Structure 1
């Protein structure tokens, strides 16, 4: 492996660990809970099932169920049976959950605005373009790998 590839791998590793280790707010809300709040806020009209949430978050259904149980206890979400298929449980935010979702969104926006200010306009655009190119490349490689075309 050449030096540039190794350095890139190290940087992506550090970035990944930052994402895992960073807490979204002062109350140390779990990253997946924050993501769940934002997803449910974004998709408010079409309440989501546990399966849909697990696929969207890229985690298992049991993990989502445990997270939802905790969120129900803290009055952040409510569960309701699907009116068409009673076997499916749909999830939506309570008023308290909506407020916490807005808090997460406000914190995230502040964090990224600070990063953009730190980098400046030119480097922010450059970073955004490079990250998008990286995501496109990795998505293609992962897709090709899953289809046996590596």
Structure 2
């Protein structure tokens, strides 16, 4: 690898080191684990998935998801119910508390990043925005090539 690639990787990892500890502390203060938050984001995205669909998307066994869902239900983040159309299917959705937690996580992250970006100044923000937009576009292109087996 060349020096500019190493520098970019180190800058990216440094940015993650700034953001991740804050997020972890915030989640912990709300009684949620990173795994639970990942599941809640997927539930929101998938809109009332079955537990089987959710386990498949997460790449885990249904029994593992059942234990996780039990804990999340006890914490008040999700609710489960039997599908009226097929009683063999159990569906899961966010409770108001679970949805509020995801909204709080997003708001706290935006506030923290906003404070950082405010201190950077307009020119640095513009440069960073352009670089991050190119990063996202390039990552999508690389992901497309990788997923096609190329």
Q: What is the TM-score of this pair, normalised by structure 2?
A: 0.70
Native 8 Å contact 2:79 2:93 kept in 1:
yes
Q: Note closer, same or farther for the CA distance 1:143–1:101 as it changes in structure 2 (3 Å cut).
A: closer
Native 8 Å contact 1:34 1:104 kept in 2:
no
Alignment map for 1:48-67 (pairs within 5 Å): 48-50=49-51, 51-52=53-54, 55=57, 59-62=58-61, 65-67=66-68
1:127 aligns with 2:128: yes
Q: Once structures 1 and 2 are overlaid, which stretch shifts more, 130-139 or 14-23?
A: 14-23
Give structure 2 stretches of 5+ with no counterpart.
none
SS at match of 1:61: coil
Deviation at 1:87, TM superposition (A): 3.9
TM-align CA RMSD: 3.2
How many residue pairs align between the two structures? 144
Native 8 Å contact 2:73 2:79 kept in 1:
yes
1:12 aligns with 2:15: no
User: In 2, distance between residues paired with 1:14 and 1:124?
Assistant: 17
Deviation at 1:80, TM superposition (A): 1.8
Task: Report what 1:111 is aligned to.
Answer: 112
Give structure 1 stretches of 5+ with no counterpart.
none
More helix by share: 2
Native 8 Å contact 1:75 1:97 kept in 2:
yes
1:31 aligns with 2:30: no
User: In 2, distance between residues paired with 1:121 and 1:76?
Assistant: 39
